[in-house]
Structure 1
Amino acid sequence: MEDLVREWQDRLRRMIPGGGGRGIIIVAVLALLGFGAWSAYYTVPSDSVAVVQRFGKYLKEVPPGLHFKFPLGIDVATTVPVKRQLKQEFGFLTPGANDPYQGSRPREVKRETEMVTGDLNAALVEWVVQYRVSDPVKFLFEVREPSETLRYVSESVMREVVGDRTVDEVITIGRQEIEAEALTKMQALSTKYAMGISIDQVQLKNINPPQPVQESFNEVNQAQQEKEKLINEARRDYNKVIPLAEGEKDQRIREADGYRLKRVNEAEGDVARFSALLAEYSKAPEVTRRRIYIETLQDVMPGLSSKIIIDEQTRSILPFLNVDTPKGAQP
């Protein structure tokens, strides 16, 4: 820009002899107009909105795209990423982060992670808070340095939540409950302070005991995991054997019920048949007796190998029975 101004000054001096002062004024005016035209337009990214201030007073919000404003500092447009998920890291810092409030300062890393649990044990807790800007106006004007305020809120809430639990819950089984409770409390404080921030997720990262007792704690943790493993194996065997035994028991019971019903039905059928036979026998005893006699002979006679029929009315013929003939031979 300065080179361009000097070039125009030189041209005007050559064009206006003896009018160097006047030429400088003209050049300055042209430069001012050019700078004003250059600063009159601005572009808002697709994941952001711009908050426009006129003489420092809030004017409006503008959507993504190319826009124009009054130049020379009359209107000031501040871009706020409302569709981008932001994050803050506690106890560590991702290399290459652009946000100065994203990660812990080197001198604050140890202090942020050192916490005392409810059973008066120490733990080193690292976590991440993911959030979005939900209200750009509140984010810019209601709280001074909202990102830094969010770090203080997050640290305060996490110390409170960790302080309500034992060290075993914090390191092993209570991680999900801690994340859920911390998310709820952080969002409540953000709303109370009108920070214009929406908390999306709180995620615990590394949770370790202090360095002097870390080796002993790892041994205890391994023993706890081995215990859980044995319990799970026992439950697996239980779930495998017990249902099989229950099934066999039910099968035996059903078989016994079926056999019982079969015998009861057979007995009831025999009773009904005998009752019917008795009723017929009572009507004609002689006929029924003869019919039973004949039916019995029909069942018995086919099983005999030889048959001897004697007529009781024959008196003059000597009955003869060859007892020496082998069974099954022709006489």
Structure 2
Amino acid sequence: MADNQYEININPDWIRKYLAKILLGLFGLVIIFMAVKTVGPEEEGVVIQLGEYNRTVQPGLNFIVPFVETMYKIPVQRQLKQEFGFRTSAPSQRSEYVKTGYSDESMMLTGDLNLTDVEWVVQYRIVDSYKYLFRVRNADKTLRDMSEAAMRKIVGDRTVNEVLTVGRQEIATSVEILLQEMCEEYENGIRIDQVVLQDVNPPEPVKPSFNAVNEAQQERETLINQAEAEYNRVIPRARGEARETIQLAEAYALNRVNRARGEADRFNSIFEAYVKAPEVTKQRLYLETIEKILPKIGNKVITDERGSNVLPLLNLNPQQKTPQQ
């Protein structure tokens, strides 16, 4: 029994035609994939045609010419940041930071020739994507160099105590203003939102000495505040008492002087009346004196110096009632 033999004849032209269609389809898909670009809602698309700026496209679906045009997506609506002296290794609710290897960025010299370890953050936005790409080469790296230069300049004009304590906010504000001026001068299309001093410390080898000095300064300030509080409590009170004593003395002196003047005027008036009518004046003075003396004597009995018996003639104390018999 003879074996059945099957022969399959494959046309080479058909294979080439089929492979050509497949390759053409794949090439078309690649072209479409390269031509269609999606720009996010926080981005702008900058299209470069043969190495030259062509146009800027808005968020959404956009098309470019493959192999001829290139698109760069710039996050113009997003706040960006650069960290100096440290890096965020794991951003979360409790972010983790790495400081090892970044001391060259943060170690700087103050105006009084002391070293400080300054860690800061620059928050910025890209406001002009064209300038960001074409005015400055590698704008992010340039901004980092500008930030470091600005911080070193401002810190170099301050003392170490200002940098570590009361001058931190002023330093951050000054760096922000200076850095924005540099960005406008370089036309890099960046706007500085904020400069934040993350942490400012003395170098590790001298940190104990700085802490001791700070504690001494704080103790001095405490003692000064206590002394000023005691001064404010005692001195105003003493001044008030002194003022009160002076006012009482002035009032007493004024009273005495006025009374003396009144007595002198009264004496002069009596003398003038006496000159005009001596007997009448003497009688009036006598009666006025008796009127003042009699109420102070108590029970009074008038007798006849020639009589032999005591005879009450007048009851001059009406407040005492005669006892009933």
Q: Normalization by structure 2: what TM-score?
A: 0.69
Are the aligned partners of 1:90 and 1:104 in contact in 2 as well (CA < 8 Å)?
no
Displacement of 1:193 in angstroms is: 1.3
Match of 2:105 among 105, 112, 115: 112
Spell out, residue by residue over 1:257-281, the C-alpha distance to the aligned partner (whole angstroms, 9 max, x if none).
Answer: 3333333343344444445545555
Match of 1:145 among 138, 155, 177: 138
- Unaligned 5+ runs, structure 2: 1-15, 311-322
Residue 320 (1) aligns with residue 320 (2): no
SS at match of 1:95: strand
Residue in structure 2 matched with residue 7 of structure 1 by the alignment? none
CA distance in 2, matches of 1:20, 1:79: 43
Residue 294 (1) aligns with residue 282 (2): no
Residue in structure 2 matched with residue 12 of structure 1 by the alignment? none
Match of 1:93 among 84, 87, 95: 87
Q: Normalization by structure 1: what TM-score?
A: 0.68
CA distance in 1, matches of 2:75, 2:147: 21
Are the aligned partners of 1:114 and 1:125 in contact in 2 as well (CA < 8 Å)?
yes
Are the aligned partners of 2:126 and 2:191 in contact in 1 as well (CA < 8 Å)?
yes
- Unaligned 5+ runs, structure 1: 1-17, 312-317, 323-329
SS at match of 2:87: coil
CA distance 1:181–1:298, shift in 2 (3 Å): same
Paired-residue identity, %? 41
CA distance 1:245–1:21, shift in 2 (3 Å): same
- Number of aligned residue pairs: 290
Mean CA deviation greater in 272-281 or 189-198:
272-281
Residue 81 (1) aligns with residue 69 (2): no
CA distance in 2, matches of 1:24, 1:52: 34
Spell out, residue by residue over 1:142-178, the C-alpha distance to the aligned partner (whole angstroms, 9 max, x if none).
Answer: 2222222121111112222333344344334443443
CA distance in 2, matches of 1:275, 1:60: 112
Displacement of 1:92 in angstroms is: 1.0
SS at match of 1:94: strand
SS at match of 2:171: helix
What letter corresponds to residue 57 of structure 1 in structure 2? Y
CA distance in 2, matches of 1:76, 1:264: 103
Residue 257 (1) aligns with residue 250 (2): yes
CA distance 1:151–1:40, shift in 2 (3 Å): closer
Residue 212 (1) aligns with residue 205 (2): yes
Residue 227 (1) aligns with residue 242 (2): no
Residue in structure 2 matched with residue 193 of structure 1 by the alignment? 186
Are the aligned partners of 1:51 and 1:137 in contact in 2 as well (CA < 8 Å)?
no
Are the aligned partners of 1:123 and 1:209 in contact in 2 as well (CA < 8 Å)?
yes
CA distance in 1, matches of 2:247, 2:190: 66
CA distance in 2, matches of 1:263, 1:251: 18
Residue in structure 2 matched with residue 10 of structure 1 by the alignment? none
CA distance in 1, matches of 2:113, 2:103: 18
CA distance 1:58–1:268, shift in 2 (3 Å): farther
Residue 50 (1) aligns with residue 47 (2): no
Spell out, residue by residue over 1:100-143, the C-alpha distance to the aligned partner (whole angstroms, 9 max, x if none).
Answer: xxx99964x02112223334333322222233334444333322
Residue 127 (1) aligns with residue 127 (2): no
Spell out, residue by residue over 1:220-261, the C-alpha distance to the aligned partner (whole angstroms, 9 max, x if none).
Answer: 332232222222222222222222222222222333333333
CA distance in 2, matches of 1:51, 1:258: 90
CA distance 1:287–1:53, shift in 2 (3 Å): farther
CA distance in 1, matches of 2:105, 2:48: 40
Match of 1:307 among 301, 311, 324: 301
Are the aligned partners of 2:39 and 2:73 in contact in 1 as well (CA < 8 Å)?
no
Displacement of 1:96 in angstroms is: 3.7
Are the aligned partners of 1:44 and 1:79 in contact in 2 as well (CA < 8 Å)?
no
Residue in structure 1 matched with residue 229 of structure 2 by the alignment? 236
Displacement of 1:181 in angstroms is: 3.2
Residue in structure 2 matched with residue 4 of structure 1 by the alignment? none
